[in-house]
Amino acid sequence: MQDQLKSMEAEALARLDAVQDLAALEDWRTEYLGRRGRLAQIMRGLGALPAEERPAVGQVANQVKARLEAAYEERRVALEEEAKARAFRAEAVDVTLPGRPPALGRLHIATQNLREISSIFAQMGFEVYETPEVETDEMNFQLLNIPPHHPARDMWSTFYTDREGVVLRTHTSPGQIRLMRERYPAEIRAILPGKIYRYEQVSARYEYQLHQVEGLAVGRNIHMSDLKGVLVAFAQQMFQGTRRWRFRGSYFPFTEPSFEMDIECVLCGGGGCRVCKYSGWVEILGAGMVHPVVLQNGGYDPAAYSGFAFGMGNERIAMLKYAIDDIRYFFANDPRFLAQFG
Ligand SMILES: [Zn+2]
The pLDDT score that the predictor gives to residue 136 is 94
* Ligand 1 center from residue 284 Cα (angstroms): 13
Residues of the chain with pLDDT under 50: none
The 10s digit of each residue's pLDDT in 122-139 is: 999 999 999 999 999 999
The pLDDT score that the predictor gives to residue 109 is 95
Assess whether 181 and 310 both reside in one domain.
Answer: yes
* Ligand 1 center from residue 285 Cα (angstroms): 17
Amino acid found at 223: H
Q: Is 96 within a domain?
A: no
Q: Is 103 within a domain?
A: no
Can you spell out the DSSP letters for 266-281?
TTTTTS--TTTTTSSE
Assess whether 141 and 51 both reside in one domain.
Answer: no
Q: Of how many residues is the chain composed? A: 342
The pLDDT score that the predictor gives to residue 304 is 97
The pLDDT score that the predictor gives to residue 40 is 86
* Ligand 1 center from residue 77 Cα (angstroms): 79
* Ligand 1 center from residue 282 Cα (angstroms): 8
The pLDDT score that the predictor gives to residue 248 is 97
In whole angstroms, give the CA distance from residue 34 to residue 245: 100
Assess whether 214 and 139 both reside in one domain.
Answer: yes
Assess whether 262 and 167 both reside in one domain.
Answer: yes
Q: How many CA atoms lie within 13 A of 330 on its CB side?
A: 29
* Ligand 1 center from residue 276 Cα (angstroms): 4
* Ligand 1 center from residue 177 Cα (angstroms): 36
* Ligand 1 center from residue 341 Cα (angstroms): 23
* Ligand 1 center from residue 309 Cα (angstroms): 27
- Strand, coil or helix: 59: helix
Assess whether 238 and 129 both reside in one domain.
Answer: yes
Assess whether 312 and 222 both reside in one domain.
Answer: yes
The pLDDT score that the predictor gives to residue 91 is 87
pTM, two decimal places: 0.70
The pLDDT score that the predictor gives to residue 285 is 96
* Ligand 1 center from residue 264 Cα (angstroms): 8
Assess whether 196 and 245 both reside in one domain.
Answer: yes
Assess whether 210 and 261 both reside in one domain.
Answer: yes
State the residue range of the domain holding 32: 2-91
Q: Is 9 within a domain?
A: yes
* Ligand 1 center from residue 275 Cα (angstroms): 5
Q: In what order do the strands lie in the sheet with 127-128?
A: 127-128, 188-197, 209-219, 306-313, 281-290, 255-264, 245-252
* Ligand 1 center from residue 234 Cα (angstroms): 21
Domain limit, last residue, from 24, 57, 91: 91
Q: Is 37 within a domain?
A: yes
- Cβ neighbour number for residue 313 with a 10 Å cutoff: 21
Name the residue among 224, 237, 262 with its Cα closest to residue 121.
237
Q: How many domains does the chain have?
A: 2
* Ligand 1 center from residue 280 Cα (angstroms): 5
In whole angstroms, give the CA distance from residue 50 to residue 47: 8
